Amino acid sequence: MSGLERIERNYELAKEMYAEHGIDTDAALEKLASIKVSMHCWQGDDVRGFLFPEEELGGGIAATGNHPGAARTPDELRSDLEKAFSMIPGKHKLNLHAIYADTREKVDLDELEPRHYQSWIDWAKEHGLGLDFNPTCFSHPKAADGFTLSHPDKAIREFWIRHCQASRRIGAEFGRQLGQPCVTNVWIPDGYKDLPADRLTPRLRLKEALDEVFAEPFDERHLLDAVESKLFGIGSEAYVVGSHEFYMGYALQKGKLICLDSGHFHPTETISNKLSALAIFARGILLHVSRPVRWDSDHVVTLDDELLEIARELVRGDLLGKTYIGLDFFDASINRVAAWVIGTRNTLKALLRAMLEPVEALKRAELAGDYTTRLALTEEFKSYPFGAVWDYYCLKQNVPVRETWLDEVKRYERDVQRKRG
């Protein structure tokens, strides 16, 4: 029996097992193929970007490791991205930060225009991808003291307002040219290392600045705005201006997407537990799927309990229609293409796993107070042949099945990445 025949045979057997519980694997795969994951560009070069490549990484962000082969130019980054996308089933999106402009002009952040990203738009069209966007409010001299949109100096504050306004125009142009909404997410590092004397005033400045940033209206078919909180960061351990409560209030009042990053909360908190609560009231949710190890370490996403719980919440609560899934991790200690492939495939695996669970039976048991059945079914389904369904999906999407992609990554590292110096 050939490898192809074995994959198809295993799928048919798995299909029968799931069908016994009323689970349609074909329908699950069709639904999975419709989901777009926004893969982040900054894994490919350790968050350096191309506008100010010599600027020290700021905003409390740290990429650790020295694996060879980081992209140094837009063309190298696009080559790496193409390699990664070729091993990931489905059609997805790329998430760009403003510092990844592809231009030879000397241009500052508040002077950026859509034309500085036209090569990215053309590339996305060629490969059938969408684009998301982020203003870069870090790694810049005007963010050196840890404040941007809430800065007490009006001139500096207005610089960052102009940058975020420019970023929204860029995002709207992405959406217009690509025919799908560009989610443009605002995150700032603003905060104090030690206890502040005044917590309120910086937040009032931030609210006023955000009102200016979002003043220009755009067609939501082209642009969706999101705001992102953080519990603490390096240099803002005691106080963060844009806390979760601040941005939750702002987003609910102003009709913006609320961004939940897996690593931006207390280590005992999980964003999976927040999704259903926010979904009732919020315009929509943006996820930054990451893996915090004791803090916001941005480790590569693994198929761990929290990732599975996030996927279960999205599937069981029927929240996929109002949730935008993005990735946010960067690891310089391993091959960067492999990091993308591992993290994105794991996110899709988690969603598929969630779709292949007996959700209705679990809900019925719960309503009847039959918690024994609820636990028993949950645990027994962990050993159902989900892997056979995933393998079949990869086969039909013309991407490598199981770990066979690793050989191609090793070859690409040897022939391309290690020759970059």
| Annotated active-site residue in 261, 313, 357, 391 | 261
| Annotated active-site residue in 42, 120, 160, 187 | 187
Respond yes or no: is residue 190 known to be catalytic.
no
**Which residue type occupies 102?**
D
Respond yes or no: is residue 80 known to be catalytic.
no
| Annotated active-site residue in 225, 228, 313, 391 | 228
The alpha carbon torsion through 365, 367, 368, 374 (nearest 10 deg) reads: 20
Respond yes or no: is residue 228 known to be catalytic.
yes
Respond yes or no: is residue 116 known to be catalytic.
no
Euclidean distance between CA atoms 241 and 26, whole angstroms: 47
> What DSSP string describes 246-309?
HHHHHHHHHTPEEEEETTSS-TT--GGGTHHHHHHH-S-EEEEE-B-SSSS--BPP-S-HHHHH
Report which DSSP code applies to 181. P
Q: Please, how many CA atoms are within 13 Å of residue 338, restricted to the half-sphere of its CB? A: 20
How deeply is 378 buried, as exposed, middle or buried, from its count of CB atoms within 10 A (0-12, 13-18, 19+)?
middle
Respond yes or no: is residue 264 known to be catalytic.
yes
Respond yes or no: is residue 230 known to be catalytic.
yes
Euclidean distance between CA atoms 371 and 178, whole angstroms: 48
Euclidean distance between CA atoms 116 and 120, whole angstroms: 9
Sign of the Cα pseudo-torsion (193, 197, 200, 201, in order): negative
Distance of CA 132 to the CA centre of its chain: 10
Report which DSSP code applies to 100. G
**Which residue type occupies 25?**
T
| Annotated active-site residue in 274, 288, 299, 349 | 288
Torsions phi, psi of 112, nearest 5? -70, 145
Closest CA to 283 of 228, 322, 317: 322
Euclidean distance between CA atoms 375 and 216, whole angstroms: 50
**Which residue type occupies 387?**
G
CB 53 within 8 A of CB 100: no
CB 83 within 8 A of CB 69: no
Respond yes or no: is residue 261 known to be catalytic.
yes
| Annotated active-site residue in 83, 92, 116, 264 | 264
| Annotated active-site residue in 102, 298, 331, 413 | 298
**Catalytic positions, please?**
187, 228, 230, 261, 264, 288, 296, 298, 328
